[in-house]
């Protein structure tokens, strides 16, 4: 047993569209545990930490503005290989290319905006997960 944890976010587009329950259902249906949930409105300082790797990219400011545009839901989920597993449930970044059956593939599409809006975030490595969980659940 080497139970892993990941940080999942339901982004403002997901909350606005009433998809909190849908995302949680998919996490639970896959068999992962929900360890913590928190609804919040993220501020710039928090998002600068969370998206530090993207600072300086062309879409960064639009990303921060989008993530501040409404409440988000932060979730810690756990289970063996949950980091990889939730990325697989999410589908790839671009919702047009995300496979049907995935959260992004089923529930999101290209909105023509400067930043891609794709319903969820999931940590991409154990290091990112530890860092991101600490940001949202200090």
Sheet strands side by side (includes 4-10) = 33-40, 72-79, 4-10, 120-122
**Cα–Cα distance, 104 to 119 (Å, whole number):** 7
Among 28, 41, 59, 80, which residue sits at the site for ligand DAT (rule: CB under 6 A)? Answer: 59
Instruction: Pick the catalytic residue from 50, 54, 121, 134.
Output: 121
Q: Is 121 a catalytic residue?
A: yes
Residue with tokens 């999101």: 108
User: What is the sign, positive or negative, of the torsion defined by CA atoms of 102, 107, 110, 113?
Assistant: negative
Is 118 a binding residue for ligand DAT by CB under 6 A? The answer is: yes
CB 117 within 8 A of CB 66: yes
From the list 2-10, 37-45, 111-119, 125-133, the region that binds ligand DAT by CB under 6 A is 111-119
Residues 89-108 that bind ligand DAT (CB under 6 A): 93
Q: Which stretch binds ligand DAT (CB under 6 A): 18-26, 27-35, 75-83, 117-125?
A: 117-125
Catalytic residues: 121
Point out which residues bind ligand DAT (CB under 6 A): 59, 63, 93, 115-116, 118, 121, 124
């Amino acid at each position: 047993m080497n139970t892993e944890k990941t940080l999942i976010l339901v982004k403002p587009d997901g909350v606005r569209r009433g998809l909190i329950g849908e995302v949680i259902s998919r996490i639970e249906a896959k068999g992962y545990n929900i360890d913590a949930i928190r609804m919040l409105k993220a501020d710039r300082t928090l998002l600068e930490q969370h998206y530090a790797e993207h600072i300086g990219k062309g879409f960064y400011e639009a990303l921060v503005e989008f993530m501040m545009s409404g409440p988000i839901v932060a979730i810690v989920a756990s289970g063996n290989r949950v980091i990889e597993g939730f990325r697989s449930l999410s589908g790839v970044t671009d919702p047009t290319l995300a496979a049907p059956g995935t959260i992004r593939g089923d529930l999101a599409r290209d909105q023509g905006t400067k930043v891609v809006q794709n319903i969820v975030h999931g940590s991409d490595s154990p290091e990112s997960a530890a860092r991101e969980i600490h940001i949202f659940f200090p």
